[in-house]
Amino acid sequence: MRKLFKGLHDFNASLDPRFSLAENWEQYLDEHLKREWNGARSLTLIAWEGERPIGLLMLAGYSDSPLFQYRHWAEILALFIDPEVRGGMLALRFVRMAKSWAKDHGYDRIQLYVTATNERAKRFYQKCKFEPVQEIWRLELGDGVPDFVFDEDDGDYGPDNDPLTPKPHNVGEDD
Ligand SMILES: CC(C)(COP(=O)(O)OP(=O)(O)OC[C@H]1O[C@@H](n2cnc3c(N)ncnc32)[C@H](O)[C@@H]1OP(=O)(O)O)[C@@H](O)C(=O)NCCC(=O)NCCS
């Protein structure tokens, strides 16, 4: 599980170093899995070829601020297929299972983030009928910017402090 998760994030970081994993990523992953392992709010699938793990899909229910009317969706947090078995049916089967999990749990859509230069993944998602609805734009501020100081314990991640989902803005949060 960790190997596949790291494979995915090493690949993402090779496209964009801003997606590098934190030093203590394993702790956060374990925390997420302990809380969420195939509970009512998430789905984690690992595919095996004999003893070898060859594919990982992680999906979770996501809630934005109560400020928004349509604030619940299912989100693909991770999708990774071992390079040796890419081009088969595994990724497609994962997405089909994700769709049926999301429908069964009352979600009307699945969303995901994909790096703009990840052409293969974009082609794959297009094949699965996903389409882009928003873009993330970035302005790098360069050297000389003081480190942003924040409290590591302030729950500054995820809805319900889930370490694998980013925290949306705070406007209208009920806590
Ligand atoms: C994205 C991923 C899960 C898709 O699984 P896959 O088994 O490779 O998917 P497929 O081969 O069915 O689909 C990929 C499509 O890209 C095409 N493709 C193959 N190699 C490619 C390349 N180097 N560049 C662009 N497109 C490529 C394939 O031909 C296929 O399109 P087609 O069916 O029209 O021919 C898998 O490639 C992967 O794990 N990538 C690394 C991790 C990743 O990017 N995860 C998604 C993060 S959001």
Mean pLDDT by 10 residues, the chain (175 residues): 95 96 94 81 94 96 92 96 97 98 96 97 98 96 72 60 65 47
Distance 68 CA to ligand 1 centre (A): 33
CA angle 34, 37, 38 (to 5 degrees): 160
Distance 85 CA to ligand 1 centre (A): 11
Parallel, antiparallel or unpaired: strands 110-112 and 72-81: parallel
Alpha helix stretches (DSSP H) within the chain: 2-15, 25-36, 90-104, 119-127
Domain 2-161: CATH superfamily, name plus number: Gcn5-related N-acetyltransferase (GNAT) (3.40.630.30)
Rounded CA-CA distance 36/45 in Å is 12
Rounded CA-CA distance 170/174 in Å is 9
**What's the pLDDT score for residue 113?**
96
* Pocket test residue of 77, 117, 124 for ligand 1, highest count of atoms within 8 A of CB: 124
Distance 54 CA to ligand 1 centre (A): 15
Q: What is the CA radius of gyration of the chain?
A: 17
Q: Name the residue among 46, 51, 64 with its Cα closest to residue 2.
A: 46
**What's the pLDDT score for residue 173?**
47
Domain residue limits, the chain: 2-161
> What are the φ/ψ torsions at residue 60 (nearest 5 degrees)?
-145, 150
- Helix, strand, or coil (residue 16): coil
Ligand 1 interacting residues, C-beta cut-off 6 A: 8, 11, 79-81, 86-88, 91, 112, 114, 118-121, 123-124, 127
Residues in the chain: 175
**Which amino acid would we find at residue 49?**
E
DSSP tag of 159: G
User: Measured from the CA of 55, which atom of ligand 1 is nearest?
Assistant: 39
pTM of the model: 0.87
**What's the pLDDT score for residue 11?**
97
Rounded CA-CA distance 77/75 in Å is 6
